[in-house]
Amino acid sequence: MKFTTLYSTIIIAALTLSGCSSYNALHLSKQQLPEVSNPTSTPYTYYKIDPPLYNGDVVQYELQNGSSGTLTVKKTTPQTLISDKGLVINLSDLASLKRKDISKGKTAAAVGTGVATTVVVAAVVFTAAVGAGFAAMLSAS
């Protein structure tokens, strides 16, 4: 019976820690600072990512030229996305951007399935142990 408790603890911990993830779309919008009174200056353009990206976020991107990939964000600037491997992507070149997030619903379903499986295994082990005990008692008499 000790092993059943140990196995159930390991299964629940593994499922909880692994978590299930999904890629959620981010909204990228081009922003422009108002023009200053100086007629020779050009307006400053920057990009707003909503919700914002942070160091360590994993994102899937697709560029307007059709190429795509996955990267881990090291830094964002007003006009670029910089990966932990030094790849620099201009935000103006992006066609789509998605961030990898933990899915609470999928994780809950996985944990629930793990718990149910553990209960079934524990019941089978318990039934087998009780049956073996009865068999031992009958053969001893």
pTM: 0.57
For residue 104, what pLDDT is reported? 55
In degrees to the nearest 10, what's the CA dihedral of 10, 15, 18, 21? 180
For residue 65, what pLDDT is reported? 95
| Distance from C-alpha of 77 to C-alpha of 91, rounded to nearest angstrom | 9
Burial class from Cβ neighbours inside 10 Å (0-12, 13-18, 19+) for residue 104 reads exposed
For residue 131, what pLDDT is reported? 73
Half-sphere exposure for 120 (CA within 13 Å, toward CB) = 6
Strand order in the sheet with 58-63: 20-25, 94-103, 58-63, 68-76, 80-83, 88-90
Q: How many CB atoms lie within 10 A of CB 96?
A: 13
For residue 119, what pLDDT is reported? 66
**pLDDT tens-place values along the chain, 141 residues long:** 556 566 666 666 665 555 577 888 999 999 888 766 666 667 788 999 999 999 999 999 999 999 999 999 999 999 999 999 999 999 999 999 999 987 555 555 555 666 666 666 666 777 777 777 777 777 776
- Do 94 and 28 contact (CB within 8 A), yes or no? yes
For residue 22, what pLDDT is reported? 83
What is the β-pairing status of strands 45-50 and 88-90? Answer: unpaired
Tokens representing residue 12 in the block: 């629940």
